[in-house]
């Protein structure tokens, strides 16, 4: 409109936004208000915040306090949460890295998913569910919660244990199966309306859509990102990321997939580019909010009245699902010849239904693959299993040990034929090394060079294979079982050294070793100092916490940089250890200890200086230095050609490769060394 135009707006004309837009902003604000204290609370009690988000969603939803009571708002928030969550997961999900590690996780992961899906499918068919619904429910039950399991394993420092690595491996394989599973859901929804020809055509369409991911990720997107990055505007990159999310969402929906699938595809595409780290940094601050939106919105979808009305029924179904998944996952682990106790712990860890199952249930409801009532039932069972799971994971090691000792004590000691113990004669006065990781390998080499007999015991078959291939006496087994310690000669051993990351197994093994041989010397390496007291109470003679030894190594190297002699550094190390690591625990030293420490650090010291061609002192005479006047140090001697020139004359001329011996305090030595290297001023 130009200045002076006679065009007039109608008097009743006004610009307004729909009311539900304001409601959406209000709902998002409420979600943020609720998610913040929940994060703080569950972080303090060391439980996954996802549990709190689910409970909060139930409380503030339509069936609770009705802070967010409109069904459309709940559905919109749930869809937004799914889209954002899957985009972030896809962004952190490097397809190339996953495919490289596929061989290592395919065995146990494929057995777990196939067994779970197949058994649930047969049960549902017996319960008169349609074939396509039975297959979907089997796939839904097969997935576990990555968020909960990783949180619990991280907090308990069990990621590096055998069962921790196995659990993460199976979860990784489940993540790989997400893409084809999400692609199958729309096809299953059409199963009762289409013939085989239509289903095959739809499947080919889905495969073509997935194939286009690789084409776009390898060609189009990197080039577009490169062009945009050269423009020098960060906003352009953000706008392109948003465009990619919306564009892939629209494209996937057009090809019969879903918006959530499109968001996941967008994340996968960006994860394969060189700009993924910058995009992650931009998105990372909002990741937790995305996750909270998803889980709170999922909790709001739950019909609390239906849960209360049939609570015993749903609780029973949930416990059966947890028991069933524990057994199936344990069998999958045993199938690849893992120890029984490790297999049981892995089964307990993965016994819940996961967040991807919640996403899949929402997609199935939108595609009318399942009815609203069946959706509610699946949602209730999934949420209950996720709420119960952290308690089970916290007690998984104790439960697995009890079950192993009660029902199958001998099964845990059965070892593969090719991994039989390699010792030829009974050992006596030997060392038992528990764990053949890096520490175990180093210790075994030192013992071998020192002609000290030893035997390795490990429950990881790959470690045992490596030990046997190196000619090391080794036996396969779980150290928490007395039969395995008997085979390692615990009664005649002088020492047992625990070098495994499994803290629970270490504690139980220490107790058992002390029972079987009260005179044996027990040495234990632990991860944290807080574990030292419990392991000592279990019967260990000496506990070496990694964090303390790392701290000692650091301060010793710092002292070396300040030219503290090695004998004094060793005195400080012994002082710290004799005080029971009191310095690092925050406990005050005794007055005598502090006096010793102060004396050591303020004592007069000697230091040597090696003259190089670039040194200032090179080719100068002693009388030209005036080193005592300028720094306060005393020049004791000069070593030249392996001959000592004590107290050289003032006419003595220094040359390259001479070694000057100085005497003085720390401050004086620093000044003297700087003078010799750089000269005065």
DSSP 168-213: HHHHHHHHHTHHHHHHHHHHHHTTTTS-HHHHHHHHHHHHHHHHHH
Q: What is the pLDDT of residue 413?
A: 41
Which of these, 474, 316, 459, lies nearest to 381 by C-alpha position? Answer: 316
Going from N- to C-terminal start, the domains of the chain cover: 19-399, 411-540, 548-602, 605-678
Distance between CA atoms of 668 and 681, rounded to whole angstroms? Answer: 15
For residue 359, what pLDDT is reported?
83
CB 524 within 8 A of CB 498: yes
Supply the pTM of this predicted model.
Answer: 0.69
pLDDT, one tens digit per residue, over 429-471 is 899 999 898 889 989 988 988 888 999 998 887 788 888 888 8
Nearest to 479 by CA among 456, 505, 444, 499: 505
pLDDT of residue 118: 93
pLDDT at 468: 86
Question: What pLDDT does 589 receive?
Answer: 47
pLDDT at 2: 43
- The H-or-E segment that residue 629 falls in is helix 627-631
The first and second tokens of residue 469, run together, are 């291939």
Q: What distances in angstroms separate CA 487 from CA 299, 444, 455, one per listed residue?
A: 52, 18, 10
CA distance 118 to 137: 10
Q: What is the pLDDT of residue 583?
A: 47
What pLDDT shows up at residue 195?
56
Three-state DSSP class for 467? helix
C-alpha–C-alpha distance, residues 465 and 475, integer Å: 10
Domain range 411-540, its CATH number among 2.30.30.90, 3.40.50.720, 3.40.50.2300, 3.40.50.1000: 3.40.50.720
Equal CATH topology for 411-540 and 605-678 = no
Q: Check residue 416 and give its pLDDT.
A: 42
Q: Say which CATH architecture domain 19-399 belongs to.
A: Up-down Bundle (1.20)
Which DSSP category does 676 fall into? H
Q: Would you say domain 605-678 falls under CATH 3.30.70.1450?
A: yes
Tokens 């699946």 sit at which residue?
378
Using left for φ > 0, alpha for ψ between -120 and 50, and beta otherwise, residue 561 falls in: alpha
Low-confidence residues in the chain, pLDDT < 70: 1-24, 69-79, 81, 92-105, 191-203, 205-207, 209-210, 213-214, 216-218, 232-233, 255-258, 283-288, 408-426, 565-568, 571, 574-604, 681
Give the span between the Cα atoms of 175 and 180, in whole angstroms.
10
């Amino acid at each position: 409109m130009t200045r002076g135009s006679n065009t007039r707006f109608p008097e009743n004309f006004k610009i307004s936004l729909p009311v539900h837009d304001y409601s959406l902003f209000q709902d998002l604000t409420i979600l943020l208000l609720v998610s913040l204290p929940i994060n703080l609370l569950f972080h303090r009690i060391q439980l996954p915040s996802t549990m709190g988000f689910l409970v909060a969603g139930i409380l503030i939803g339509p069936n609770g306090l009705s802070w967010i009571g409109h069904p459309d708002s709940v559905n919109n928030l749930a869809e937004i949460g799914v889209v954002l969550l899957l985009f972030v997961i896809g962004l952190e999900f490097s397809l190339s890295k996953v495919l490289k590690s596929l061989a290592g996780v395919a065995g146990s992961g494929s057995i777990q998913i196939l067994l779970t899906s197949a058994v649930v499918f047969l049960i549902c068919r017996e319960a008169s569910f349609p074939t396509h619904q039975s297959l979907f429910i089997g796939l839904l039950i097969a997935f576990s919660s990555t968020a909960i399991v990783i949180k619990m394993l991280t907090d308990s420092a069990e990621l590096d244990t055998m069962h921790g690595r196995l659990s993460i491996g199976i979860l990784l394989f489940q993540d790989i199966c997400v893409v084809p599973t999400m692609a199958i859901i729309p096809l299953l929804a059409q199963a009762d309306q289409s013939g085989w020809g239509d289903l095959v055509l739809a499947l080919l369409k889905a495969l073509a859509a997935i194939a286009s991911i690789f084409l776009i990720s390898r060609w189009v997107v990197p080039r577009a990102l490169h062009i945009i990055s050269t423009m020098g505007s960060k906003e352009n990159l953000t706008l392109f990321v948003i465009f990619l999310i919306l564009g892939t969402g629209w494209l996937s929906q057009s090809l019969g997939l879903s918006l959530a699938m499109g968001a996941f595809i967008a994340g996968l595409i960006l994860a394969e580019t060189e700009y993924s780290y910058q995009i992650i940094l931009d998105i990372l601050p909002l990741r937790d909010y995305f996750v909270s939106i998803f889980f709170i919105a999922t909790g709001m979808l739950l019909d609390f009245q239906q849960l209360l009305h049939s609570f015993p029924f749903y609780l029973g179904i949930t416990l059966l699902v947890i028991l069933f998944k524990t057994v199936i996952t344990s069998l999958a682990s045993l199938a690849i010849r893992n120890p029984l106790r490790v297999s049981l712990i892995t089964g307990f860890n993965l016994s819940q239904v996961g967040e991807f199952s919640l996403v899949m249930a929402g997609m199935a409801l939108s595609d009318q693959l399942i009815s609203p009532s069946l959706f509610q039932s699946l949602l209730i069972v999934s949420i209950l299993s996720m709420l119960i799971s952290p308690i089970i994971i916290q007690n998984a090691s104790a439960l697995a040990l009890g079950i192993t000792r009660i029902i199958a004590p001998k099964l845990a000691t059965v070892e593969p034929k090719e991994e039989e113990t390699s010792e030829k004669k009974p050992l006596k006065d030997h060392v038992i090394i528990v764990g053949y990781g890096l520490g175990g390998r180093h210790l075994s080499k030192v013992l071998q060079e020192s002609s000290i007999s030893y035997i390795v015991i490990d429950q990881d078959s790959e470690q045992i294979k490596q030990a046997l291939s190196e000619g090391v006496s080794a036996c396969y087994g779980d150290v928490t079982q007395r039969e395995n310690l008997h085979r390692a000669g615990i009664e005649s051993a002088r020492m047992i050294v625990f070098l495994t990351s499994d803290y629970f197994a270490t504690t139980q093994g220490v107790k058992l070793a002390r029972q079987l041989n009260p005179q044996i010397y027990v040495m234990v390496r632990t991860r944290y100092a807080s574990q030292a007291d419990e392991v000592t109470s279990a019967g260990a003679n000496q506990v070496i916490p990694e964090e303390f030894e790392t701290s000692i190594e650091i301060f010793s190297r710092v002292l070396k940089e300040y030219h503290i002699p090695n004998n004094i550094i060793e005195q400080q190390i012994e002082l710290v250890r004799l005080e029971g690591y009191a310095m690092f625990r925050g406990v005050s030293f005794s007055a005598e200890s502090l006096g010793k420490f102060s004396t050591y650090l303020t004592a007069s010291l000697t230091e040597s200086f090696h003259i190089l061609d670039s040194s200032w002192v090179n080719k100068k005479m002693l009388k030209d230095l005036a080193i005592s006047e300028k720094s306060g140090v005393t020049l004791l001697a000069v070593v030249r050609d392996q001959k000592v020139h004590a107290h050289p004359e003032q006419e003595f001329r220094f040359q390259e490769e001479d070694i000057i011996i100085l005497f003085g305090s720390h401050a004086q030595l620093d000044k003297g060394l700087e003078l010799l290297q750089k000269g005065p001023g």
